[in-house]
Amino acid sequence: MQVLVLNSGSSSLKFQLFTMPEETIVCSGVVERIGFTDARFKFNSELLNVETETKVLTHKAALKLVSKHLLNKKEGVLKSAEDIKIVGHRVVHGGMYFNDTVQITADVKEKIKSLSSLAPLHNPANLEGIMVAETIFPSAKQVAVFDTAFLQSIPEKAYKYAIPNEFLTKHNIRMYGFHGTSHKYVSEQANSFLNKKESKIITIHLGNGCSMTAVKNGKSVDHSMGFSPLEGLIMGTRSGTIDPSVIFHLKDSLGYSMKQINALLNKESGMLGLTGYSDLRDIELKASEGNAECKLALQMNAYRIKKYIGSYATILNGLDAIVFTAGIGENSSLIRKLVCDDLDFLDITLDEAKNNLRSKNLRAINSDASKVKILVVPTNEELEIAKQSVRLFVN
């Protein structure tokens, strides 16, 4: 069975084509900088490797570009669009509507649209990816896999805010959390590595968006993001947790509109606001050259992560492993070192030689003396989406 997985971001489209249930990757790639004349397109298969800049102004154009290469007569991997049996879509926010994977219907699309205000950078792009895929692959079953689903097991004492009850009961205002597909995948990989029936794990997803989850016996029990993806850790352009009074001060004393504040906290803050750069590779380079703002931003980033590790170790009443994943978590030995320094009290000690080694495989980077495992687990949200999509129809 051919399963195409689409991960539509605000200005990007990641894709992987799998043969299932073998979990074989047929091809993969990404379209970045959608909306620009110099968009970047990558397509990798056994017969064809493309990396180029081209004009891609819409998600529809991006998916058409992908399908053109999938169906290339000489070097394509499909004979026709009908070969795709399932298209699995990553959808960031499922609200209280969805606690599992679902086949997409008109009602599902309407609910995804209604939640766009809660994830304005993601849900609209996710929905557009769905609508475009329906036109290009009309015979395929369209499936939505929600980032919030894995986090539905978090108990009420953790997800409820200390505001009047009616805001939860009437307006569904609560902590939802995000990156659930990634946290689910890497926590399962970590559990398999630990080979324990019962486990206490903290998963740390560090990319442009960052989040952490406390996972007990395979179930999430707490999470760093909240009602929206804005809360929690310091991210590429998002502020993370901030005193709500700052918003009132920006509006009432400094004259900012609510639209400006929303843009400030979501798109102009985080590492970008602290350093002028949103890409951690640039920040690490500038820090190594002596840039004081970049040095401080890295320390702040790691400090925030440490606070959550301490908090979650308490909630879990112990700890078997911490897991680093996603682009920064998998590739930045510096961030991992800054996070793990001075955590001896929790029996977390890093082996710097292991930490500095590069690998695409799951690996332990803790010292032999460390009672808590420090794992680097490459995430594979696309494979998890493919598995959940197939499971929907097989079971």
Backbone φ, ψ for residue 64 (5° rounding): -65, -40
Is 14 annotated among the ligand-binding residues? Answer: yes
The continuous run of DSSP H or E covering 190 comes out as helix 180-194
336 known member of a binding site: no
Q: Has 208 been labeled as part of a binding site?
A: yes
The annotation status of 207 as a binding-site residue, yes or no, is: yes
DSSP label of 140:
S
49 is in an annotated binding site: no
Q: How far apart (Å, rounded) are the C-alpha atoms in residues 267 and 58?
A: 20
Catalytic residue among 83, 147, 222, 341: 147
Q: Is 85 annotated as a binding-site member? A: no
147 belongs to the catalytic site: yes
Residue 296 to residue 282: CA distance in whole angstroms? 14
For residue 215, CA distances in Å to 183, 190, 199, 203 come to 9, 11, 8, 7
End-to-end CA distance of the chain: 15
- 191 appears as a binding residue in the annotation: no
C-beta separation of 92 from 126 below 8 A: yes
Establish whether 177 is an annotated binding residue.
no
* Distant-in-sequence contacts of 123-127, Cβ < 8 A, 24+ apart: 123/91, 123/92, 123/93, 125/8, 125/9, 125/10, 125/11, 125/59, 126/8, 126/89, 126/90, 126/91, 126/92, 127/91
Is residue 328 annotated as involved in ligand binding? yes
3-state secondary structure at position 25: strand
| Residue 90 assigned ligand-binding role | yes
The response to whether 88 counts as a known ligand-binding position is no
Flag whether 331 is marked binding: yes
The token pair at 141 is: 């079953």
Binding site per annotation, positions for Mg(2+):
7, 381
Annotated binding site: 7, 14, 90, 205-209, 279-281, 327-331, 381
What residues form the annotated binding site for ATP? 14, 205-209, 279-281, 327-331
**Would you please indicate which residues are annotated as catalytic (active-site) residues?**
147
Binding site per annotation, positions for substrate = 90
